[in-house]
Amino acid sequence: MRVLTIKFKIMRNPFLVLLVIVTSLVNAQQRKVSLATVDKVEGIPMFLFSEPVEEYEIVGKAVTGGHILKLTLDETSTIDDKAKQLVEKALKRKEDGKVPEFDAIIVDVFKEKAKAIKFKNGVSLKAKVEKENGVPVYFYSKPIKDYEIVALLPRDYSLYAANNLLYDKIKSSVNRILKKEESGEVGHFDAVIFDPEDLSTTLVKFK
């Protein structure tokens, strides 16, 4: 009876009806997404927070678990520095015959692994990006679709994430940006482009 009474009151109040409709529309609003073109690091395509669109096969480990751990724990280097070191180590492993010829590297930020891959039909930079809390994240990549810039924001993530993994920093950053959107500090956006050098962000809306 209580539920029915509440529904009845809402139906008799035009303002509440409008509020429910507006809230439903906002919640139903989907963020647009675009395929990405990934960047090259030291001449090697880097798929980070993204997955190649074209078919490929994994040919080996780009680096060992020990190398990944060392890079992860190094707080004196930027993400960009770490990426360059990762590629250099992968190329050295190829030179030493520890991994065969490869076209690109996919970094799994969740498992802290880096895979060397070879495309089946030639090298491709096209990728599908991953989402964090429903928001498309472009990291070492740029959207293919045209977009307009909604806001440029400095690095901002929780102190709890400051000394943790890259994924923790990205997750914290996105959550803080979403709170800014909810409070009206920034306008509605479709995706976030991260600068790997300092983790500052560009909020974009696709045309």
Alpha-carbon span 51 to 128, nearest angstrom: 5
pLDDT tens digits for 34-67? 999 999 999 999 999 999 999 999 999 999 877 7
Element (H, E) at 195: none
C-alpha Rg value of the chain to the nearest Å: 21
Beta strands in 49-190, from DSSP E residues, in sequence order:
50-52, 56-61, 104-108, 113-119, 126-129, 131-132, 135-139, 141-143, 147-153
**Overall average pLDDT of the 100-110 stretch:** 92
Residue 193 pLDDT > 50: yes
| Secondary structure of residue 113 in the 3-state scheme | strand
Cα separations (Å) of 120 from 49, 64, 68, 135, 166? 21, 24, 27, 30, 30
The pTM score is 0.82
pLDDT tens digits for 146-188? 999 999 999 999 988 876 688 899 999 999 999 999 999 999 9
Alpha-carbon span 105 to 40, nearest angstrom: 10
| Secondary structure of residue 22 in the 3-state scheme | helix
pLDDT at residue number 69:
67
Residue 90 pLDDT > 60: yes
pLDDT at residue number 73:
66
